[in-house]
Chain A
Amino acid sequence: MDTLVLSKGKMLSTHPGVRAEATFQKTIFLSALAIIVLLVAIFLSLLIHSVPSLKAFGLSFFFSKTWDPVSATFGVLPFLVGTLLTSFLALLICLPFSLAISIFIGEYFKKGALSSFLKTVTELLAGIPSIIYGFWALFVLVPIVRNFQTKIGIFPYGVGILTASMILSVMIIPYAASIAREVISLVPSDVKEAAYSLGSTRQEVITKVVLPYARSGIVAGILLALGRALGETMAVTMVIGNSNRLPKGFFSPGNSMASVIANEFTEATASLHISSLIEIALLLFLVTMIINIIGKYIIKKISVEA
């Protein structure tokens, strides 16, 4: 062979394969670069198209609770509240279940049929499309909530913040569970043995040694589940009630930032309306970006220490 192959396979310029090599290197480099360019382009597009709305409302956009296409006044507060309420309530509801699954697979049943079964089920839960969750919630959860509301004497919307939080919590269980499970199973056994040798019960070792040790991983899992909840659209749109008024409580109908875009974007004709909706999209983009970066950063730190 008349090819001299150096460290990265850079060949002598006399070889005919040199062009193929250079093309290959350039292609993969540009591909990696393209992803960065894509992301920056997404951000810039959202920003540019938000400008009319930014210019018209400025900071008051975030504090105004009026969203009225007719009078062309737009404020995002009702949807901020709707998003925060549904996401945090969903997190709260899903936590005991996600933690239980992660302790089940990470501590009690590390191997065996039971643990594979639960792992498979958790993955399937994550794989079901959100429209299916929404559809099911609309026809099964909403009547249940409606019955409950009639029983306790409030207006039987059926839809609303609570219903949306309920279906959302089911959807984010697998996200928090899988990361928590990883860190819990990585807790070194000699720390656990030390606690056992001092006469601790299994529950005490889990709650006082394993969980504190795995604390940052669990936080990362929660953050990533939160990120997922914030951006979830279809299931929430179908059961949150589509109301642009500031929700008064958990039984009120409302809208999240994602659901108002889903509901109104195709019918919006006025450019200010469209721009305001895009500004909401920009806000969603930035918030989920920050949460994801923090979550991934924590996970990276943990894997380095491990």
Chain B
Amino acid sequence: MALHRLRLRIWKDRGFKAIVILFSFLSIVPLLLILFYIIKNGILSISWEFFVELPRPVGEKGGGISNAIVGSLLLVIIAGLPSIPLGIAAGIYLSENKKSRITYWSGLAVDVLQGTPSIVIGIIAYLWVVVPMGGFSAFAGGIALGIMMLPMIVKATEETLSLIPGSLKEASLALGVPYYRTILRVILPAGVSGIMTGVLISTARVAGETAPLLFTAFGNAFMNWNLTNPVHSLPLLIYNYATSPYPEWHRVAWGASCVLVVFVLTLNLVMRTVIRRWKVQF
């Protein structure tokens, strides 16, 4: 077989590899730019006052984001309280009853729920909580975020428990331990790292969400601990301030972005150590 265009093919081979490497590293550029800008613009705002003071009205210097931080925390807790137990319970059912019809449809529902746009979830929480309650509230925001956390926790639980070898369950059952205790005292603890990962990932995800809060938690210029009133959150504050015409507010938004990004990235790193430290080897 005549080997024509040999030089061309060899150059194409080298060129292709170079392009693949180039484009791969170009993809990192936006991440670096974003982190750079946020830290550069936001770091100046960060101070102790920034964390403990309330935002000042337009025109006044200083102020902080304490209400947004507290609000974000409240929302995540309200979201997690129902969704973590429910998600884990559903995950247990799905991993233990693989052949059941309910498992099939529930798994499908989980996938669909996970892919549902967050703004749609916001509307649902509006219809289900805000309207009956007659107003915006932290509770509504928490429900919206909880619905978003649910599928991620179910999946993490199901996948983690499915990886645990059946011999562990058999050993426990063979000792005369009832099934429900086997799951709760043997299987679940063995899967703790995977489930924790799911909880952390979903927390990081909903902590940064804005859209579902636009018409549920709504935002609040003041500190609020009352769950039936509107509450602020970091992403909401960033949205309001970034889209405002006031440079002073932009500065606060950069600072808040800095806090949010650091929080999310820290959670990501914590997640990695959790996986490594707590992972049970089989």
Check A-B contact in the complex, CB < 8 A. Answer: yes
Q: Which residues of chain B come closer than 8 Å to A20, judged between CB atoms?
A: 178, 180
Q: Which residues of A contact B (CB under 8 A)?
A: 1, 3, 5, 8-11, 17, 20-21, 24-25, 27-29, 31-36, 38-39, 42, 45-46, 49, 96-101, 103-104, 108, 118, 121-125, 127-136, 138-140, 170, 173, 177, 199, 201-204, 206-207, 224, 227-228, 230-234, 238, 258, 261-262, 265-266, 277-278, 281, 284-285, 288-289, 291-293, 296
Please give the distance in Å from A235's CB to the nearest CB on chain B.
10
Specify which of B12, B86, B181, B261 is in contact with A34 (CB 8 Å cutoff). B86
Q: Which residues of chain A come closer than 8 Å to B242, judged between CB atoms?
A: 131, 134-135, 138-139, 238
In Å, the complex CA distance between A25 and B87 comes to: 15
In Å, the complex CA distance between A49 and B208 comes to: 28
Binary per-residue interface labels of chain B (11-22) against chain A in the complex, 1 for a CB within 8 Å, 0 otherwise: 011011101111
A9-B173, A34-B90 known; A202 and B123 CB under 8 Å?
no
Cβ of B44 under 8 Å from chain A: no
Q: Which residues of chain A come closer than 8 Å to B176, judged between CB atoms?
A: 1, 3, 5
In Å, the complex CA distance between A238 and B118 comes to: 16
Specify which of B16, B21, B96, B215 is in contact with A206 (CB 8 Å cutoff). B16
Label chain B's interface by main secondary structure.
helix
Cβ of B211 under 8 Å from chain A: yes
> Are A230 and B117 in touch, CB under 8 angstroms?
yes
Identify the stretch in B26-34, B46-54, B190-198 within 8 Å (CB) of chain A at 4 or more residues.
B26-34
> Are B16 and A234 in touch, CB under 8 angstroms?
no
Specify which of B24, B105, B118, B214 is in contact with A100 (CB 8 Å cutoff). B24
A9-B173, A129-B208 known; A100 and B19 CB under 8 Å?
yes
> Are B119 and A231 in touch, CB under 8 angstroms?
yes
Specify which of A49, A121, A139, A177 is in contact with B31 (CB 8 Å cutoff). A121
> Are B31 and A31 in touch, CB under 8 angstroms?
no
A5-B179, A45-B128, A234-B239 known; A201 and B12 CB under 8 Å?
yes
In Å, the complex CA distance between A207 and B210 comes to: 41
In Å, the complex CA distance between A133 and B239 comes to: 11
Binary per-residue interface labels of chain B (194-227) against chain A in the complex, 1 for a CB within 8 Å, 0 otherwise: 0000000000110111110011001000000000
Q: List 30 A-B contacts (CB under 8 A).
A: A9-B182, A27-B89, A29-B93, A31-B90, A35-B109, A36-B102, A36-B106, A36-B109, A42-B113, A45-B124, A97-B23, A100-B24, A124-B265, A128-B31, A129-B208, A129-B261, A131-B260, A133-B34, A203-B13, A203-B15, A204-B13, A207-B16, A231-B116, A231-B118, A231-B120, A261-B119, A265-B126, A278-B127, A289-B115, A292-B114
> Are B117 and A32 in touch, CB under 8 angstroms?
no
Specify which of B12, B20, B89 is in contact with A104 (CB 8 Å cutoff). B20
Q: Which residues of chain A come closer than 8 Å to B12, judged between CB atoms?
A: 201, 203
In Å, the complex CA distance between A227 and B114 comes to: 11
